[in-house]
Amino acid sequence: MPTVLVTRRLPPPGTAALRDAGVEVRESPSDAPLDRGELLVGVRDVDALLCMLTDRVDAEVFDAAPSLSIVANFAVGFDNVDVAEAARRGIVVTNTPDVLTEATADLAWALLLAAARRVGEGDRLVRTGSWTGWSPTQLLGAPVHGATLGIVGLGRIGTAVARRARGFDMDVCYTSRRRHEAAEAETGARYVTLGELLRTSDVVSLHAPLGETTRHLIDEAALGSMKPTAVLVNTARGALVDEDALVRALRDGTIAAAGLDVFEHEPALAAGLRDLPNVVLAPHIGSATTQARAAMVKLCCENIVRVLAGRPPLTPVRPEATG
Ligand code: NAP
């Protein structure tokens, strides 16, 4: 009977589909990540690994798992998996595209609106009892309706974010390594260079994967080229942004505000970030809806069942997709 290691407690519907397909499931009962030692011991004789973005899956893990044939990552991003090394060893890697796109785009919009309209600051004002009543000068924010939205990475989630912008009459531009004509036609987004996007956008929303070409894409110079009234939203991966440079930019008024769902060294934050009033902080909940998480579970299980039966997976990660 083939065996799968599930590194973390899963939301419903859980692993019933694996058991129904005759797979032995070793599932961590805990909602905490396995430590490195537990992961290396846990994979020893398994055929499949269902892992989280909090698990680093690299050559050391593959060395410890001689029977491994599939790594099913419970995320669309796969920067935590050494995909090239897996390919060299004939191990299939899968992710969970599409099923979390709308949930993550919704969260990007929640952060965009909250950061631009200072909802977090207002919440704290009211909650702490410091609010003395309506004022014509209180918490003036940036307009969202009619503003220019710059999308870095017009893929699945970037396109879903751009689609929502039409309801706000926004002018949408985007940048990526190549043009995406179908998404341009659907959303009306204009292709521009990263430099132009940063200089001209009122809101910059990040949707590119983390890879060597995107690590610290938004650094001190990039932040310095943005409008002082601009809002930065990051629901992609924390390391796309130099977080120390962002703290300085938010503190010095280089940009106006930020909304962040992801952080460079989760769950740790860059020094000073949590003290800034003009940043909205979410605990990496982009895909955290009941429906999206259930669909992610089903897709991971289906990929594992297929690969263990010698069939192609539904959503393989191609090694050349690594950025
Ligand atoms: P996707 O469909 O692959 O879209 C990513 C886009 O980024 C592609 O269109 C790609 O286009 C573009 N891109 C790649 N390198 C770039 C670069 N250097 N500069 C600008 N654009 C670049 O992926 P997705 O499903 O939309 O997901 C995007 C990311 O969101 C994931 O990788 C993941 O890290 C993150 N995510 C986070 C959460 C959360 O919980 N916060 C949830 C889901 C996903 P080109 O190849 O043409 O450049």
Q: Do 121 and 264 fall within a single domain?
A: yes
Q: What is the CATH number of the domain that holds 224?
A: 3.40.50.720
Q: How far is the CA of 62 from the centre of ligand 1 (A)?
A: 26
Q: Looking at the 3D structure of the chain, how many domains does it have?
A: 2
- Cα gap 296→302, rounded to integer Å: 10
Average pLDDT over residues 238-250: 98
| 231 Cβ inside 6 Å of ligand 1 | no
DSSP letter string, 235-274? -S-GGGB-HHHHHHHHHHTSSSEEEES--TBTTB--TTGG
pLDDT at 232: 99
Is the Cβ–Cβ distance between 228 and 249 less than 8 Å?
Answer: no
Question: Do 126 and 275 reside in the same domain of the chain?
Answer: yes
The three-point CA angle 237-290-301 to 5° equals: 80
The CA 29 to ligand 1 mean position distance, Å, reads 31
Same domain membership, residue 95 and residue 112? no
Are the C-beta atoms of residues 50 and 72 closer than 8 Å to each other? yes
Residue 29 pLDDT greater than 90, yes or no: no
Say what the pLDDT of residue 30 is. Answer: 86
Q: What is the pLDDT, as a whole number, of residue 169?
A: 98
What is the Cα 74 distance to its own chain's centre?
12
Three-state SS for 82-137 is CHHHHHHCCCEEECCCCCCHHHHHHHHHHHHHHHHCCHHHHHHHHHCCCCCCCCCC
* Amino acid (1-letter code) at residue 88: R
The answer to whether residue 99 scores a pLDDT higher than 70 is: yes
pLDDT in tens, 30-82: 889 999 999 999 999 999 999 999 999 999 999 999 999 999 999 999 999 99
Give nearest CA residue, ligand 1 atom 15.
Answer: 208
Contacts 24+ apart (CB under 8 A), 182-188: 183/154, 183/158, 183/159, 184/154, 186/159, 187/154, 187/159, 187/162, 187/163, 188/162
Mean pLDDT (whole number) for 160-189:
98
pLDDT confidence bin for 319, thresholds 50/70/90: confident
Assess whether 109 and 180 both reside in one domain. yes
Domain of 43, in residue numbers: 3-99+289-322
Cβ contact 315:97 at 8 Å: yes
Q: What is the pLDDT of residues 259-303, one digit of tens each?
A: 999 999 999 999 999 999 999 999 999 999 999 999 999 999 999
Q: Is 205 in the pocket of ligand 1 (CB under 6 A)?
A: no
Verify that 275 and 305 share a domain, yes or no: no
Average pLDDT, rounded, for the chain: 97
Same domain, 78 and 154: no
Residues 24 and 115 in one domain: no
Q: 250 CB less than 6 Å from ligand 1?
A: no
Ligand 1 mutation target, pool 53, 79, 154, 177, most atoms within 8 A of CB: 177
168: number of Cβ within 10 Å: 17
Pair 186, 51 in one domain: no
In a shared domain, residues 144 and 187: yes
294 and 187 in a common domain: no
**How far is ligand 1, taken at its centre, from the CA of residue 208, in Å?**
3
Assess whether the C-beta atom of 189 lies below 6 angstroms from ligand 1: no
Residue 258: C-alpha distances to residues 64, 214, 232, 289 (Å): 41, 19, 5, 23
* Active-site choice (264, 284, 293, 302): 284
Residues 268 and 191 placed together within one structural domain of the fold:
yes
CA pair distance 69, 49, nearest whole angstrom: 8
CA of 95 to the centre of ligand 1 (A): 13
Whether 89 is catalytic is no
Residue 267 sits in the same domain as residue 300 = no
Radius of gyration of the chain (CA): 21
Distance between Cα 112 and ligand 1 center (Å): 18
Beta carbon of 214 within 6 Å of any ligand 1 atom: yes
Whole-number percent of the chain with pLDDT over 70: 99
Instruction: List strands edge to edge, sheet with 3-6.
Output: 24-27, 3-6, 48-51, 70-73, 92-94
Rounded-to-integer distance, Cα 278 and Cα 135, Å = 19
Of 237, 243, 264, 302, catalytic: 237
Q: Is 284 a catalytic residue?
A: yes
Residue 278 · residue 230 · CB < 8 Å: no
